[in-house]
Amino acid sequence: MAGGPILVVVWPSGPIFLSSKETPAIERKQQRINDQIRTTPLRVIADDGEQLGVITRDEALEKSREIGLDLVEVAPLEKPPVCRIMDYGKFKYQQKKRQHKGHTHHGKNKEIRLRPKIGEHDFMTKANRARKFLGERDKVICSVIFRGRENAHVDEGFKLVKRLVAELADVSKVEQEAAMHGRRIVVILAPK
């Protein structure tokens, strides 16, 4: 364990001795800036990417203050540690932005089932539910299901689908036109 600083972690079971290469990930992830940097000499990179070479900590801090930016330790485990002169607030903002970039909403398919003899209030409830799904950027599959003697009046189902599409025209577009699939009429609506 000779050759580097030693970190002592005290657990209820007893102390654990770690070399600098075995420090916990939490310790390494936190970046030191300006006066938090204790080591000297440092390899310094300017804000435009130019290598300033290996200089003392005080010289590096002086140069970063002249420019009006921060001195940020980017590779603390290197020999000597690598620091960069940059705007730390902007750097943290861009890191957070990059981290949240992948969190986009992936639309799901939601289904609304209707019957040909649906009542007016029930129809409006189903339409409002579909409107809510479309507002959440989900696709809506509208099915009109026929049973028994209702199969003789498929045209009533198409009228119902046309009415639903007209009701939701302000928030949706028809992705797949109404078509018979066995004993049901299916139309797929996507958010605008």
Q: Which of 94, 32, 89 is nearest to 61 (CA)?
A: 32
Residue 125 dihedral angles phi and psi, to the nearest 5°: -60, -45
CATH number of 31-99: 3.10.20.80
pLDDT in tens, 43-95: 998 888 888 888 888 888 888 888 889 888 888 888 888 989 988 888 888 88
Q: Tell me what the pLDDT averaged over the chain comes to.
A: 84
Determine phi and psi for 99, rounding to 5 degrees.
-70, -35
Non-local CB neighbours of 181 within 8 Å, separated by 6+ positions: none
CATH class of the domain whose range is 109-191: alpha beta
The count of residues in the chain is: 192
Taking residues 123-127, report their average pLDDT: 96
More confident residue, 62 or 126: 126
pTM exceeding 0.85? no
CA-CA distance, 70 to 79, in Å (whole number)? 21
| Cα–Cα distance for residue pair 119/102, rounded to 1 Å | 43
| Secondary structure E strands in 29-123 | 42-45, 51-55, 70-75, 82-86, 109-114
Q: Residue ranges of the domains in the chain? A: 1-29, 31-99, 109-191
